[in-house]
Amino acid sequence: MTLYIISKNKIIQKRWSVILSSFHPIFRESLPSSLGGDTMVMIHDNVLCQLNDIQKKNLFALHVMVLSTTPTFEQARSVLALGAKGYGNTMMHESYLVSACQAIQEGNIWLSPEYINQMIQELPTMPKKETNPLEPLSHREVEVAILLSQGDSHKEIAQKLDITVRTVKAHATAIYSRLNIKDRLALALLLRN
């Protein structure tokens, strides 16, 4: 998958080129006129706001991550609704930037943990199903699953349950595997339906 990085900001371009060098990115200050379907685009929101509706429609048919100098939850929601596969801060930690690229290349959606937690908090509570979706889990995994679905961080869960963060992560992995889901957002949706 070809990675295009679109930004007019030279400082950001330099930073991203170092962090994402293993992806062999192509840097541009504007969106190329045509891009193939096997293309990932990381675009600075300053460039995105200059595109017309047709350009945006064509852009969001691809694997797109929007990065903002001043990210907001509202903008995250807006670009995801347009079809973006990811959203984050232009200066986010390099490990997040790399994991975002990997996730999007694998066909997943990437958001910062903070925004995932906000989305979980905003999910409506649905009437309980007659079957318990947590039935395959142990008692401790059920406790962890409930806290994960409420948006608690691994550290918060570890403190509440008096276990290590590493143990919480192990339980989370087991929970996702047993319930055949990918992440805490899917878990929250499963438990709220």
Question: Does 143 have pLDDT greater than 70?
Answer: yes
Three-class secondary structure of residue 27 per DSSP: strand
The token pair at 182 is 């990918």
pLDDT single digits (tens) 45-89: 989 888 888 888 888 888 999 999 999 999 998 888 888 999 999
What domains sit in the chain, N to C, each tagged with a CATH number?
2-111 (3.40.50.2300), 120-192 (1.10.10.10)
Say which amino acid occupies 179.
L
Say which amino acid occupies 95.
S
Mean pLDDT value across residues 103-113: 86
Q: Are 41 and 59 in contact (CB under 8 A)?
A: yes
The token pair at 94 is 């390099």
Question: Does 129 have pLDDT greater than 70?
Answer: no
Q: Give the whole-angstrom CA distance, residue 88 versus residue 79.
A: 11
Three-class secondary structure of residue 4 per DSSP: strand
Q: Give the whole-angstrom CA distance, residue 166 versus residue 169.
A: 5
| pLDDT number for residue 55 | 84
Q: Which of 34-48, 103-117, 158-172 has the highest mean pLDDT?
A: 158-172
Task: Give the pLDDT band (50/70/90) at residue 147.
Answer: very high
The token pair at 143 is 């406790």
Beta strands in 90-182 (DSSP E): 110-111
Q: Give the whole-angstrom CA distance, residue 107 versus residue 3.
A: 14
Q: What is the 3-state secondary structure (H, E, C) of 69-97?
A: CCCCHHHHHHHHHHCCCEEEECCCCHHHH
| pLDDT number for residue 163 | 95
Count of other CB atoms within 10 angstroms of residue 84: 25
Three-class secondary structure of residue 147 per DSSP: helix
